Structure 1
Amino acid sequence: MNVRRVVPNFQSDAAEASREFYGLLGFEEVMNQGWIVTFAPPSAPAAQISVMTADKTGPVTPDVSVEVDDVDAAYAAVRESGAEIVHPLQDEEWGVRRFFARDPNGRVINVLGHL
């Protein structure tokens, strides 16, 4: 299994202020779903930061998103390890398959793959 990108997720209602702030650092808006906005610099599009009011379908806002090339294999490995599954594996209407798991530090990790 390969990791494609890792994105910190900040829970906030300040998307516009975040757009302005991260713009000062060379970031541009690359995705806006209304409840989540993602910023990335044009020179390094996989270096991303997301700001979300709350997760649309999950029970909590994840701390980090990790995109992998095989989300089903990741889900099987995490379940087999005994780690807590916070949100079950499912396909989302915005084109990802994902689940949430809690890491040993108590952080909620959104593990996803694009459909």
Structure 2
Amino acid sequence: MTASRDDRLRRRLRDLQRFADDAAYTVELGAAAYLEDSSYGRVLRNNGRHIVVQVATVVEKLPPEFKAEYPDVDWVAIGRMRNLIAHHYDNVDDRLVFAALQRRIPALIERLFRDNGAS
């Protein structure tokens, strides 16, 4: 990869880390608050959905050769989750979004950063 491609990759990995930090903060507020039937709960759910969309948008921009180094990552599922949230918001199971914030995004970051030493 050229220097500019390396810089873009590093920037995208940093973006993923920031979004993972946002996901962790949201999870720290608790599932009960996240799923609460109130304005506060709706704001948290909108935030959680937006984090998932941001992660998927960055993942979509990762170079194919980079993604090929991680065949164990379900790249397609990440995009599908974004599409579900963006196009079928009324069919989104917010418990699954919370689970993605709690487990899937941290696992993705752990997997990518273990090999790339980024943080």
Work out whether the TM-score is over 0.5.
no
Q: Which structure has the highest strand share of the two?
A: 1
Q: Which structure has the highest helix share of the two?
A: 2
* Higher relative contact order, chain-length normalized (CA < 8 Å, sep 6+): 2
**TM-score under structure 1 length normalisation:** 0.30
